[in-house]
Structures are given as C-alpha cells and as structure tokens.
C-alpha cells in the first residue's frame, strides 16, 4: 500500500528534515520569504503528510518560476512531526521563535492542528488550517486562525443528506483519533437531523487489525447505512472485508477520507463498488484556474495523478500567497486581516471564511461513489459525473 511505500522514503529523509527542515535556512535573507510548517512525514499520518508536502513543494516551484511574491523568492521549511501532536506544538514554537519564518504553513489533521493553532494564536502569527475540520477549532474564539476546509458537520453531512430519504437506519463506526471521532460525532448529528435511526456506534483504536468484533457489535441492529469515520484506506479496507465475511450488507456504505485514496480501489477491487465518500477536489474539476499546470507538472514529477491532499496543500499555499500580496508586506496583522476577508478561487476551489470566526463558508464539497472501479461525483448535480447507484446489492448477490 501507499503508506508502506511512502514510509520508506520518509524514514530515509527524516534525519535531514528534523535537523534543518526541507529547503533549509530561515528568513535571514531579505530576498527570500520563508514558509514554514510541520507535517506527519512519518507515523500514522504519513500518507497524508507526504502528499501535503508534495503540494507545498509544487506550489513553491510554480511561484518561483513566476517571479516569487513581492519580488522575493519563496523557500519552504518543513519539519517532520512524526504524527505526534506534542511534537507538532514544539515544532511550531520553534518555527515562530527560533526560525522566525515569515509565514506559517498548516499541519495535517485535527489532532495536530489543535495544538499548532494554540501556539500560533499565542504568538499572534496567522495560521490557515488545511487538513482539519473539527468544529472545536472554531469554538475557541481565536483571532489568528482561519480555515481552508468546511467543518466535519458538512463534510460528513452532505452524503447523509443525499441518502436522507433513502435509508431509515444507520450505524457509525469510527477510528478513535481526534479527527475521526469528530467525523463520527458529525455523522450522529446528521443522522438525527435527517430522522435516520441510529442503531449503534462503535469506536476502534487506530492500530486495530481485527474488525470482526466491531462489525458484530453493529450488525445486530441491521443498519441500512454504515458510516465509517476512517482515517485512510487501511482501516476502511479492513472494515469492508470484515463486513463481507460477516454478511453485513447495508443498502449504502460511506467512508471518510479512504475513498479518495487509490489504494482503496486497488486493494478491494470489485468489493469497492457502490461505496460512497466525500471529497473537496477531484481530477474531473478541470475548470478550476491553474488546473492544467498543476496536474501536468505533478504527474510529470510523480508519475500519478494528484489527489485531494495534494490539491489541499497547493490551494492553501495559494491563499497565503494572495494574503501576503494583499498585505503588501510581511506584517502578521495585515496578512491575518487579508485572510479573514479574501474571497478567491484556487486550484482547490473556492475560499471564503466568516470574517469573525475564520471558519470556512465557501468551499464546495462533493459526494463520490466508486463505480466500475473509478471515483465518480454523484452530488451536487452541477458537477456530477454519474448518477447515484442505490441500493448497494448484498454481497451474496454480486
């Protein structure tokens, strides 16, 4: 799987990254603008961390090819937080107080974003969050935090609302990490609002290998919908396999994050058919500005098409770039004001936040479904590439 392949590369680079950061240096050079952050290049979040890093790198390459920002070249400084929130907090403290980077780049996941934003707020250093959707991020009244992604409530909610008049009951199964627990909580809220009976909810540790007990615990309720608050392809793949073995055949299955990962379909094959997911970006959204250059250059370097995590980081950096240009100088207060008031379209899509809270209000969300081995957008109608296939046939009927 991709995680194994990426771990090999990440471990080899970790010592160098921890020592000096990708790109090296600080903002001592007046001709350079340093963008710094921490990502899970190793550990449980390494899949997404590596992809986000690729997005930042491609953005920096393009910016420098185009002449930089405010007449200055861009430099990246990315540390490996090893998927540990405590390490994330320490590294952002270092980036701000020791490295004195000009602009902060986002970490990944709610688990790492919560402590990182606390550090940023303490130092009044603007942070635009990326791979984070937890509602609690915005309930703290922070003035120097803005977000690129919509909340967990809407991320999970769009799929449940699409199915609201099609299913009568649902069960929730989520990883017990902070961000996936947030997905589970959002699922419960949306089920209740849609009048869908919750037949059961189970949480599992991130290192779970045997999902049979969790499947057995929810199977007795005969849910028509299974919502999986999963952190990636690995646990979702195991859940699907365990459901098939147990004969759990709901009318619909939905998983967070996992369905956008190529490993999901590659590993499950035909068993991935009909399964739903959510995405904020797909390669079919060709009308987004800069799309062709982004996709072509990424494919030329990495030999595969970009996925959501890559586009997230690239788009986030585009917003930061616009905020710096709007501010006209490397002044944190002015950059923060710009972030709270910008409205723009990036490679990732629409950016617009509530100027009071910094919470994202403009980003499009898409419901996807695996059909004939491919991800197809089935909602909204304006962007769909195929119609929803419902219900999912029982395993015994395939």
pLDDT at residue 2 greater than cutoff 50: no
Mean pLDDT of 241-251: 97
Angle at 355 between CA 349 and CA 359, to 5 degrees: 55
d(CA 312, CA 321): 14
d(CA 127, CA 107): 10
* 357 domain residue, yes or no: no
Rounded (10°) angle between helices 291-302 and 308-327 = 130
Give 29's pLDDT tier (boundaries 50, 70, 90).
low
Six-digit token pair at 372?
Answer: 């004939």
* 84 domain residue, yes or no: yes
Same domain, 325 and 295: yes
d(CA 35, CA 62): 14
Q: Which residues contact 336 (CB under 8 A, 6 or more apart)?
A: 124, 126, 143, 144, 146
Tell me, what DSSP letter sits at residue 160?
H
* 186 domain residue, yes or no: yes
Same domain, 143 and 160: no
Q: In terms of pLDDT, which residue wins out, 13 or 167?
A: 167
Same domain, 382 and 344: no
Contact 92, 14 (CB under 8 A): no
Angle at 251 between CA 176 and CA 233, to 5 degrees: 40
* 128 domain residue, yes or no: yes
Same domain, 242 and 292: no
Q: What is the CATH number of the domain that holds 325?
A: 3.40.50.2300
Burial class for 304, CB neighbours closer than 10 Å (0-12, 13-18, 19+): exposed
pLDDT at residue 109 greater than cutoff 60: yes
pLDDT at residue 30 greater than cutoff 90: no
Bridge partner list, 38: 79
Same domain, 246 and 106: no
DSSP string, 317-360: HHHHHHHHHHHSSS-HHHHHHHHHH-EEEETTEEEEB-TTT--B
Q: Which helix (H) or strand (E) holds 178?
A: helix 178-193
pLDDT at residue 27 greater than cutoff 90: no
Total domains present in the chain: 2
Mean pLDDT of 65-94: 98
pLDDT at residue 7 greater than cutoff 80: no
Same domain, 175 and 230: yes
Contact 254, 227 (CB under 8 A): yes
* 360 domain residue, yes or no: no
Same domain, 122 and 207: no
Same domain, 250 and 381: yes
User: What's the distance, Cα to Cα, between the start and end of the chain in Å?
Assistant: 26
* 38 domain residue, yes or no: yes
pLDDT at residue 12 greater than cutoff 70: no
d(CA 258, CA 53): 19
Same domain, 107 and 61: yes
Same domain, 129 and 171: no
CB atoms closer than 10 angstroms to residue 286: 9
The residue range of the domain holding 378 is 153-279+366-397
Same domain, 133 and 214: no
Q: Which pLDDT value is given to residue 320?
A: 98
pLDDT at residue 22 greater than cutoff 80: no
* 373 domain residue, yes or no: yes
Condensed to tens digits (0 to 9), the pLDDT of residues 134-155 reads 888 999 999 999 999 999 999 9
For β-strands 103-104 and 32-39, DSSP reports them as parallel
Position of tokens 């045997």?
Answer: 210
Predicted TM-score (pTM) of the model is: 0.85
d(CA 252, CA 275): 7
* 359 domain residue, yes or no: no
Same domain, 308 and 250: no
Q: In terms of pLDDT, which residue wins out, 6 or 327?
A: 327
Condensed to tens digits (0 to 9), the pLDDT of residues 38-58 reads 999 999 999 899 999 999 999
């Amino acid at each position: 799987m991709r995680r194994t392949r990426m771990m090999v590369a990440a471990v080899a680079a970790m010592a160098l990254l921890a020592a000096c950061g990708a790109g090296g240096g600080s903002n001592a050079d007046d001709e350079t603008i340093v963008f710094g952050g921490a990502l899970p290049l190793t550990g449980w979040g390494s899949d997404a961390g590596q992809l986000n890093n690729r997005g930042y790198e491609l953005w920096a390459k393009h910016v420098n090819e185009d002449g930089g920002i405010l007449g200055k070249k861009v430099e990246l400084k990315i540390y490996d937080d090893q998927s540990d929130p405590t390490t994330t907090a320490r590294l952002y403290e270092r980036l701000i107080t020791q490295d004195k980077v000009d602009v902060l780049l986002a970490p990944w996941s709610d688990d790492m974003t919560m402590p990182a934003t606390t550090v940023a707020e303490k130092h009044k250093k603007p942070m635009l969050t990326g791979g984070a959707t937890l509602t609690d991020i915005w309930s703290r009244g922070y003035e120097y935090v803005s977000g690129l992604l919509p909340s967990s409530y809407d991320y999970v909610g769009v799929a449940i609302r699409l199915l609201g008049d099609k299913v009568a009951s649902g069960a929730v199964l989520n990883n017990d990490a902070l961000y996936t627990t947030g997905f589970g909580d959002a699922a419960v809220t949306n089920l209740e609002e849609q009048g869908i009976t919750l037949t059961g909810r189970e949480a599992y540790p991130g290192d779970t290998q045997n999902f049979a007990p969790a499947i057995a615990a929810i199977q007795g309720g005969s849910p028509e919908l299974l919502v999986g608050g999963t952190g990636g392809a690995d646990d979702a793949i195991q859940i699907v396999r365990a459901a098939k073995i147990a004969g759990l055949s709901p009318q619909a299955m939905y998983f967070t994050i996992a369905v956008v990962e190529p490993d999901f379909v590659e590993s499950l094959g035909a068993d991935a058919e009909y399964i739903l997911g959510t995405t904020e970006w797909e390669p079919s959204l060709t009308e987004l500005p800069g799309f062709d250059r982004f996709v072509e250059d990424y494919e030329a370097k990495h030999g595969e098409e970009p996925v959501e995590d890559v586009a997230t980081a690239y788009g986030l950096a585009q917003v930061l770039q616009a905020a710096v240009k709007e501010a006209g100088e490397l002044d944190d207060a002015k950059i923060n004001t710009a972030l709270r008031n910008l409205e723009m379209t990036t490679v990732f899509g629409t950016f617009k936040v509530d100027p009071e809270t910094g919470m994202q209000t403009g980003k499009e969300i898409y419901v996807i479904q695996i059909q004939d081995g491919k991800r197809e957008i089935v909602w909204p109608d304006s962007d769909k590439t195929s119609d929803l296939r419902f219900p999912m046939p029982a395993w015994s009927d395939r």
